[in-house]
Amino acid sequence: MLDNPLIRKLETVGTLPDVDKRALVDVCDDVREFSAKRDIIREGARPDFVHLVLEGWAARYKLVPSGRRQITAFLVPGDFCDLHITVLQQMDHSITSITPTKIACIPAKVMKELPETHPSLTRALWWSTLVDEAVLREWLVSAGRRNAYEAVAHILCELHARLKRVGLVEGHHFELPVTQEELADALGLTAVHVNRMLQRLRMEGLVQLEKGRLAVLDSLGLCKVAGFDPSYLHPEKLRFDR
C-alpha cells in the first residue's frame, strides 16, 4: 500500500511514476519509534541512515553557548530529517522528537544511488529540499522583521498549509502538539510572550486552541495579520519526469 506522507506531499504538485512510489515505500520498511522529547540525531553524528518522519512531530535545533535553543524547523510527516548527509559528512545540528514519532530509516547508500536508479524521484526530493529551504528563509523573515503577533500568526498559517499537503487537516482543524515553549524556540521568543500572542489571536476570533488542536476560525483574517503569502511553499504544479 502506498500510504506514505512523503508521497502524498510530492503528489500535491506533481505525478510520480508508480515504480518510484513503489521504490520509496519499499525503502521505508525499517521503521523505528521514538518517544516524545528524545534526541533522534545529535550534532556531529555521521548517520548511515537518512531519517524520514512518518508519524508525529520532530524538530531541528541548535544550542548556543548560553544554553538557549533555536528550533530551525518543525518536521512533520513527510519531512526528511537529514537528507544532507548523503552529501555532507556530519550533522551540523540536532534533531529531537516532539511527540512520540515513527521514523523510517533509509540506508544512505540507497539514497546516494537514487539519481541513477530513480531520476524522477530524485527531482521530487530536490523539490522538497528546496521548499524546506524556502520555509527556513520565511522563518528568518519572521524572526528578523515581523513582530511577535505577526510571527505567531505566520507560523500557524504555514503549518496549516504544510499539514494540509500531507492530509493532516480536517476541515479547519489540525493537531498542533507543540508546547508554547517549543513555539517560542522556533520563533525566537519566550513562552510567556507566545502565550500572550496566542491569547490575542483567540480574543480577535482568529483561532481556537485547546488540548493540542488548533481551529482556524478566520483564515483570511489570520493570513492578513501574518502577511502570509503561500507561494514560498511552491504549490505550483511541476513535472518530476524531466
Binding of residue 149 to a copy of itself (CB under 8 A): no
Cβ–Cβ under 8 Å, residues 227 and 154: yes
Helices and strands: H and E segment counts in the chain:
8, 11
Backbone angles phi, psi at 124, to 5 degrees: -65, -40
Residue given cell 505566520 in the structure block: 154
**Is residue 89 within the footprint of a copy of itself (CB under 8 A)?**
yes
By the rule CB under 8 A, 220 interacts with a copy of itself: no
Shortest spacing between CB 195 and DNA, in angstroms: 4
Number of residues that bind DNA (CB under 7 A): 18
Selection from DNA, a copy of itself, none that 143 binds (CB < 5 to 8 A by kind) is a copy of itself
Query: Cα separations (Å) of 205 from 62, 157, 172, 213?
Result: 34, 15, 14, 16
CB of 40 closer than 8 Å to CB of 97: yes
Binding flag, residue 196, DNA (CB under 7 A):
yes
Q: Please tell me the distance from the alpha carbon of residue 176 to that of residue 129, in angstroms, as a whole number.
A: 23
Q: Please give the residue ranges that form the binding site for DNA (CB under 7 A).
A: 37, 147-149, 179-181, 188-193, 195-196, 198-199, 211
Q: Which residues bind a copy of itself (CB under 8 A)?
A: 44, 60, 62, 64-66, 68-70, 72, 84, 87-90, 92-93, 115, 119, 122-123, 126-127, 130-134, 136-141, 143-146, 150, 185, 187-188, 227, 231-232, 234, 236, 238
